[in-house]
């Protein structure tokens, strides 16, 4: 006897709906996770609210967010309610790489070597050099470095720089052949205020600590993290957890400050204590290169004690 079984075809619209819900819920969920981490780590709530508003918008979209990005580029994301330039870049990074370096940083899970390998032209060896020698931690920083910065990394010639810049532009949903300009940067005096507040509060045990996965085999939560706001600028400060900082025993001295302002690309600098020369013992802002690659040096870049 032949037993007939009926196979019910799933309508294409139902499959599309499931796909839409999956990608949009994933992105919205990560934005909410980021907002929750900001609050738990002491952020005042302004940025957290912005990420939650964006998550609410994305979760009810009638189109998959990756489709908007592929068809309309990053401008299509920025046109959505509550999605500004910074959040659009975050969405583009999540869609193209499956990761979000800002979220990984707050979780202590940032592994730039893994992130960089997702860009055409970057193999495992070059990814390691960019992270260690170039001290680069995100796609935004890498894009800025290959376009403008004085990035002295073996094997990184002009042709590979152009290839990497094009690959990142594509991943972040930007026009590839339109020249990128530097965004505004906060005054060094403000960066030095953030540095001082971070070190003072870290020394007093007033900051939440995260457990970085890099160079931390015991899983200890040792790295204090500070979120601060000055005017329109938002800052995240942490002691450096780079290979070089560990090798030179500077993990309690070098302070890495990530800064963000709506409408501007994210930036990063490092504040260090000068160990020799006329400024010995002073705190100096590093990582504020001009478009020609020369570092800015002025009274504003150092904190006289």
Report pLDDT digits (tens) over 178-228.
444 556 789 999 999 999 999 999 999 999 999 998 888 898 999 999 999
Tell me which of 139 and 89 has the higher pLDDT.
Answer: 89
What gap in Å lies between CA 234 and CA 59, rounded to an integer?
25
Give the model's pLDDT for residue 290: 36
Arithmetic mean of pLDDT, 231-235:
91
Question: Domain 112-171 belongs to what topology?
Answer: DNA polymerase; domain 1 (1.10.150)
Report pLDDT digits (tens) over 78-134.
999 999 888 998 998 898 888 888 898 898 887 788 878 888 888 888 988 888 888
Question: Domain 12-107 belongs to what topology?
Answer: DNA polymerase; domain 1 (1.10.150)
Q: Name which of 19-23, 73-77, 201-205, 217-221 the model is least confident about.
A: 19-23
**Polymer length in residues for the chain:** 305
Query: Is the pLDDT confidence value at 174 over 90?
Result: no
Q: Do domains 12-107 and 112-171 have the same CATH topology?
A: yes
C-alpha triplet 210, 87, 177: angle, nearest 5°: 120
Hey, what are 176's tokens?
Answer: 């590839």
What gap in Å lies between CA 173 and CA 186, rounded to an integer?
25
Arithmetic mean of pLDDT, 49-76:
93
Give the model's pLDDT for residue 48: 92
Give the model's pLDDT for residue 207: 95
CA distances from 77 to 70, 81, 126, 152 (A): 10, 9, 31, 34
The structural domains of the chain, with segments of one domain joined by +, span: 12-107, 112-171, 188-303
What gap in Å lies between CA 43 and CA 35, rounded to an integer?
9
């Amino acid at each position: 006897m032949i037993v007939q079984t009926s196979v019910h075809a799933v309508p294409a619209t139902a499959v599309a709906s499931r796909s839409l819900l999956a990608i949009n819920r994933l992105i919205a969920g990560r934005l909410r996770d980021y907002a929750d981490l900001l609050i738990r780590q002491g952020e005042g709530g302004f940025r957290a609210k912005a990420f939650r508003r964006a998550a609410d918008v994305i979760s009810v979209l009638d189109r998959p967010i990756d489709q908007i990005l592929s068809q309309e580029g990053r401008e299509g994301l920025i046109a959505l309610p509550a999605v500004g330039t910074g959040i659009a870049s975050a969405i583009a990074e999540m869609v193209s790489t499956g990761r979000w370096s800002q979220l990984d940083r707050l979780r202590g899970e940032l592994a730039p070597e893994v992130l960089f390998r997702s860009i055409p032209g970057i193999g495992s060896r070059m990814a390691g050099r960019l992270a260690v020698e170039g001290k680069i931690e995100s796609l935004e920083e890498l894009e800025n470095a290959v376009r403008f910065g004085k990035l002295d990394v073996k094997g990184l010639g002009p042709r590979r720089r152009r290839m990497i810049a094009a690959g990142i532009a594509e991943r972040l949903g930007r026009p590839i052949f339109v020249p990128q300009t530097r965004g505004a940067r906060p005054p060094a005096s403000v960066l030095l205020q953030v540095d001082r507040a971070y070190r003072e509060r870290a020394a007093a045990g007033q900051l939440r600590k995260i457990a970085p996965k890099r160079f931390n085999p015991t899983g200890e939560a040792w790295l204090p993290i500070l979120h601060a706001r000055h005017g329109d600028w938002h800052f995240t400060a942490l002691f450096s957890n780079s290979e070089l900082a560990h090798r030179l025993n500077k993990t309690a001295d070098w302070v890495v400050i990530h800064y963000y302002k709506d409408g501007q690309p994210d930036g990063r600098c490092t504040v260090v204590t000068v160990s020799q020369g006329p400024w010995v013992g002073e705190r100096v802002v590093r990582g504020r290169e001009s478009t020609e690659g020369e570092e800015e040096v002025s009274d504003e870049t150092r904190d006289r004690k």
